[in-house]
Chains A and B, each alone.
Chain A
Amino acid sequence: MSDFLRLEGLEKRFGETAVTRGVSLSAARGEIVALLGPSGSGKTTVLRLVAGFEVPDAGRIRVEGEDVTDLPPERRRFGMVFQHYALFPHMTVGENVAFGLRAGGAAAGETRERVTETLSLVGLAGFEDRRVTEISGGQQQRVALARALAPSPRVLLLDEPLSNLDPALRDRTRRELKRAIRKVGITTLFVTHEQEEAFELGDRVAVLHRGRLEQIGTPEALFERPATRFVASFIGRSSVLPAVWSGGARLEGEVVWPAEAGAPPTEGASVDLVVRPDALLLAAAPRKDGLAGTVVERRYAGRIAFYRVATGAGEVEVLAAADAAREGDPVVVAPAPSGPLPLAFARESEP
């Protein structure tokens, strides 16, 4: 893979706390990489390091082989779309979009042409003279995108660009955003805490957790071959059960479930078993690989339902037919023969 944008071992601490810890990743020219992670995982910090608003304590940032780590933001030629858009309230839509062109010393005629062109790219042709305070949230978001794209930056950075839109608008704007980015063909780094958004927009998704890059890969790879316990449990729905490794995952008593492990743990090691709801079934009668438990919650979803079952080994979520059980029923949970294998990860001794 040719790497157009490279982050190498980025470290950033604020006072005592390390907010990003050795983040390395690269993006090919024109690739869209999504930075996905829970709140506080350091996504924004990584983006701000790349943009140049923060200076890393260690690590380098390169674009096309050029080391930009020590360049101030105004000389990086990176476009950024802010979470709250940061449109200049005292300027019109056109003046906002022209700002970067003027700062770059473009001539008036050239600027006007480019503003018109960029505004029509985001579907806002003719909005030049509107005040940015008088247009809708979705339109503001598109002005922010146009403003970032107008000076033809080398890299586009977006911080939760859709989080300020109401859900109905978000779907449509997401598609339009992707279309515009693809049309320009710009290399893009984009932050979100929503898996759906990351999977739809990103060619590849980088999962951040406590300032560390846990895994980067295509949505399929993350879902099917999670590299860490965190990724396995963060991507998709799943339950985590403590277990002991002995050929499979030994849960409570003599119950052993078949499981897969990336790096095979030693016999008798403590593991965390990550189980997806469709890997399990509700059995009618007690069985050797069955955990006895009680349904504590049932979430109805059409012909199927999600059952939360309290067992001696912990709580698990099971996908089953909508009429399989009711809240309060005693049930037996067992691995589904056709389901994905549960994944075992050596227990991390996290602080």
Chain B
Amino acid sequence: MRPRRGPLVPLLLVLLLFWLVGYPLVLTLLEALGAPHWTLAHFGEFARRPAEWAALGASLWISLATVALAALVGVPLAFVFERREFPGRRLLGSLVALPVALPPLIGVIAFLFLYGESGFASRGIQAALRLSAPPWRLSGPAAILLVHAYSMYVYFYTFTRAGLARLDGSLLEAAQSLGAGRGRVLGAVTLPLLLPALSGAALLTFMTSLASFSAPYVFGGSFRVMTTQIVASKLNGDDALAMVETVTLAAVGLVGLWLLRRLEGTRSAAGGVRGVAPRRRVVGTGRWAATAAGWGLAVFLLAPHATLLLVSFVPRDTWTTEALPPVLSTGNYRALFADPVRLTPIVNSLWMASAATALAIVLGLAAAIVAARRRGAWGGAIEGLVAAPWALPGTVFAVALAAAFSVRAPWAGRFVLVGTAAILPLGYLVRSLPLTGRAAFAGLRQMDPALEEAAASLGASRALRLRRIVLPHVRPALAAGASLAFLAAIGDFVVSIVLYTYDTRPISIEILSSLRIQEIGVAAAYGVLLTALSAAAFLVWGRREG
């Protein structure tokens, strides 16, 4: 019983979404194909270069190895925190999930400060063993993998914990009473039942790793993966090749997404909670082992971020060979706010991320409302466009936006936005849209349509129903989506590095420049500030979700 209206609003919305999300991708594909002189030459060029194959192979094996490592850390961690009771479990349990909420670049520099050549850990070992040189160099694939495992274990951790919490405890007891020992219960019952959660985490980790840019960019050196290869080609001015690389990476990402979708389809097989969830064990020596394991792992996993905090209080050039910094002061922070040049990135990041989030809320909500009203092709198109940027690596969109909006052709919907203050918020908007969009779609789906019908039958106009019925219903979900959107925007590095100008440089870019000129403390202070902003947004999200 929905009021019929002309297709004008949905049409405009689809056009807008397409212009923003689909069009740049199409233009990228066209340029890769050499339009208007159709050719596969660029692809041939790509295929002839061993370096391209190496980068593609590297992307794939790094992602697969990341999955294995992240599982190795995340799954046992989840078992400890879900199955054992020990002092501090709740607090640590949520703290160890935090790294995933922080911008990847933060993880990278935190890791650098702890394990890098002049990092906290290396200095300590160097001092302790009286070595003349740092004990290791942090670079290449090993470093990338370490950083990946360090942040992406969280997917396995949260998915496994959720899976374990959902597991019906009486299934385990049933297996036990049928004579199965611990190993058999784990192998024949627990793990098979966790399979959907584990494969979900594996694919998410794979996709995130495939899209990862910060770690390969900072640690990779001459070791290239697709994301860094694309940006390198782009910066070298080899546009056509960059387009082909982008298309290739997007294709790999889409295959991943397709697998993820299929997986979600088969997920419903396992039953939900029926009996009691398995109780946390608190007995005997296990308690000490669990406490030690829980705290040990948590300290280990959070050490980089603690180091970041420490380094942010170290004034320039005061920490040379000592194991511990000799001087601590708040000078770096004061410098951020006293010096207009240093304040600019903070202001930039804040306004650009806020603007992108606000736009993402409006657009995401509009998309959800329109799509909910008309199922079928329009609805599907809208939902697909909103979700697409989530599935594709940020590099893909950065390059696509750069290609689409550096040409003036108003009749084709193309404007020169690259180099203006508009391009970064637009880029952030595209990246944030799936987050608000998904939330709005989910919020609307949970709403009983009878509520709106009841309001209509009571004489409420369309606007009144939107304001009094629909908005209050989707607000919690939308607020959660908005904080994630803000998180993604303020922490962005990959879109920024392709599209920033000196005047619009955000915090992430400034962190890198500070590092380059050895302003370690200032970089750390920026990092802590970014962490604080992200954590604040994350807390808002956590509160809404809980």
Q: Are B170 and A103 in contact (CB under 8 A)?
A: no
A85-93, A279-287, A324-332: which one contacts chain B?
Answer: A85-93
Q: Which of the residues A51, A89, A90, A133 comes within 8 Å of B177, measured between beta carbons?
A: A51
The chain A residue sitting closest to B188, CB to CB, is A99
> Which residues on the B side are within 8 Å of A79 (C-beta)?
177-178
In angstroms, how far is the closest chain A Cβ from the Cβ of B282?
Answer: 11
Query: How many angstroms from the CA of A157 to the CA of B171 in the assembled complex?
Result: 15
Specify which chain B residues have a CB less than 8 angstroms from the CB of A100 in the assembled complex.
178-180
Asked whether, in the complex, the Cβ of B171 is within 8 Å of the Cβ of A86, the reply is yes
Residue contact B193 to A80, C-beta cutoff 8 Å: no
Within 8 A of A (CB), among B332-369: none
Q: Is B269 an interface residue (CB 8 A)?
A: yes
Instruction: Report yes or no: A77 in contact with B179, Cβ–Cβ below 8 A.
Output: yes
Q: Is the CB of B170 within 8 A of A82?
A: yes
Q: Confirm or deny: B189 has a beta carbon within 8 angstroms of a beta carbon on chain A.
A: yes
Taking a contact as CB atoms under 8 Å apart, the answer to whether A133 and B269 are in contact is yes
Q: Contact mask A169-199 → B, CB, 8 Å, 1/0?
A: 0000000000000000000000000000000
| Contact of A307 with B by CB under 8 A | no
Q: Judge whether A53 is part of the interface by a CB distance below 8 angstroms.
A: yes
Please classify how large the interface on chain B is, using the bins under 10, 10 to 19, 20 to 34, 35 or more.
20 to 34
Q: Judge whether A84 is part of the interface by a CB distance below 8 angstroms.
A: yes
Stretch at the interface among B270-278, B292-300, B440-448: B270-278
**Cβ contact within 8 Å between A86 and B180:** no
Q: A73 contacts the other chain (Cβ, under 8 Å)? A: yes
Quick check: A103 and B275 within 8 Å, CB to CB? no
Cβ contact within 8 Å between B193 and A99: no
Q: Which of A16-69 contact B (CB under 8 A)?
A: 51-53
User: C-beta contact mask, B162-178 vs A, less than 8 Å → 1, else 0?
Assistant: 00000010110111111
Least Cβ distance of A168 to chain B in Å? Answer: 22
* Residues of chain A lying within 8 A (CB to CB) of residue B189: 88
Contacts of A53 in B (CB 8 A): 173, 176-177
**Is A239 close to B, CB under 8 A?**
no
Interface residue? A104 (CB, 8 A): yes
> What are the residues of chain A within 8 A of B275 when measuring CB–CB?
82-84, 86
A84 with B270: CB separation less than 8 A: no
> 1/0 per position for B30-74, CB-CB distance to A under 8 A?
000000000000000000000000000000000000000000000
With A84-B170, A86-B170 as given contacts, are A74 and B271 in contact (CB-CB < 8 Å)?
no
Q: Tell me which of A73, A89, A157 contacts B193 (CB under 8 A).
A: A89
A112 at the interface (CB under 8 A from B): no
The answer to whether B176 touches A72, judged by C-beta atoms less than 8 angstroms apart, is: yes
Q: Which residues of B contact A94 (CB under 8 A)?
A: none
With CB as the reference atom, state the residue of chain B lying closest to A53.
B173
B178 touches A89 (CB 8 A): no
**A82–B269 CB distance below 8 A:** no
Which residue of the partner chain A has the closest CB to B272? A89
Task: Identify which of residues 79-135 in chain A touch chain B, using a CB-to-CB cut-off of 8 Å.
Answer: 79-80, 82-84, 86-90, 99-100, 103-104, 133
Contacts of B174 in A (CB 8 A): 80, 82, 86-88, 147
A198 to B324, CA, bound (A): 73
* Contact for A90 among B173, B178, B180, B270, CB less than 8 A: B270
How far is B171's CA from A90's CA once the two chains are assembled, in angstroms?
A: 11
CA distance A318 to B168 in the complex (A): 47
Q: Specify which of B168, B171, B177, B184 lies most central, judged by the most chain A CB atoms within 10 Å of its CB.
A: B177
Residue of A52, A83, A151, A157 touching B178 (CB-CB under 8 A): A151
A74 touches B173 (CB 8 A): no
Complex alpha-carbon distance, A190 and B486, angstroms: 57
Known: A84-B168, A99-B180. A133 touches B271 (CB 8 A): yes
Rounded to whole angstroms, the CA-CA distance of A73 and B179 in the bound complex is 7
CA distance A99 to B180 in the complex (A): 8
**Complex alpha-carbon distance, A266 and B192, angstroms:** 66
Q: Cα distance A100–B189 when bound, in Å?
A: 12
Chain B residues whose C-beta falls within 8 Å of the C-beta of A84 in the assembled complex: 168, 170, 274-275
| Nearest CB of B to A7, in Å | 17
Which residues of chain A come closer than 8 Å to B175, judged between CB atoms? 88, 99, 103
- The reply to whether the CB of B181 lies closer than 8 angstroms to some CB of chain A is yes
Give the distance in Å from the alpha carbon of A100 to the alpha carbon of B178 in the complex: 4
B 187-227 to A, binary, CB cutoff 8 A, 1 in contact else 0? 01100110100000000000000000000000000000000
Complex Cα spacing A170 to B338, Å: 78
A13→B198 CA distance, assembly (Å): 37
Chain A residues near B177 (CB-CB < 8 A): 51-53, 73-74, 76, 78-80, 148, 157
5 contacts between A and B (CB under 8 A): A73-B176, A86-B174, A88-B171, A88-B193, A103-B184
**10 other contacts beyond A52-B176, A79-B177, A83-B170, with CB at 8 A cut-off?**
A52-B177, A78-B177, A80-B174, A80-B177, A84-B275, A86-B274, A99-B180, A100-B178, A133-B271, A151-B179
In the A-B complex, the 10 residue pairs with the smallest Cβ-Cβ separation, listed nearest first, are A100-B178, A86-B170, A84-B274, A103-B179, A86-B174, A73-B176, A103-B180, A80-B177, A82-B170, A90-B192
Residues of chain B touching chain A, judged by Cβ–Cβ distance below 8 Å, are 168, 170-171, 173-181, 184, 188-189, 192-193, 195, 269-271, 274-275
